[in-house]
Amino acid sequence: MSHIHENRKKLVARVRRISGQVASLERAIKGEAECGAVLQQLAAVRGAVNGLILQVMEGHLRSHVADSGNTKQQDELLPVLAVLRSYLK
């Protein structure tokens, strides 16, 4: 998965941010935070994970599904990526 290795620093940074969000969520639950605050943190974690999924999936599609040297194939990916982005929002 060359796209993973090429973007390793960005992906690891993103995972660390997600880890921080999950740790904050755990503290909120242990600290008996209001359910609204917990739900808000859960939504933030879900959004962060969806963003990570989209980033890895886009790299996979561009690197392994469509030939990176083939402009037509790369252009055909654009509507697929747009649907994925709207679904993972």
Domain borders along the chain are 3-88
Query: Under CATH, which number does the domain 3-88 receive?
Result: 1.20.58.1000
* Three-state secondary structure call for residue 24: helix
- pLDDT over 90 percentage in the chain: 65
Kindly state the DSSP code that residue 66 receives in the 8-state scheme. Answer: S
Angular region, 70: left φ>0, alpha ψ -120 to 50, beta rest? beta
Residue with tokens 């989209």: 54
E strand or H helix at 87: helix 71-87
Q: In terms of pTM, does the model score above 0.85?
A: no
Higher pLDDT, 46 or 88: 46
> According to the model, what pLDDT value does residue 34 have?
96
- 36-69: per-residue pLDDT in tens? 999 999 999 999 999 999 999 998 998 888 877 8
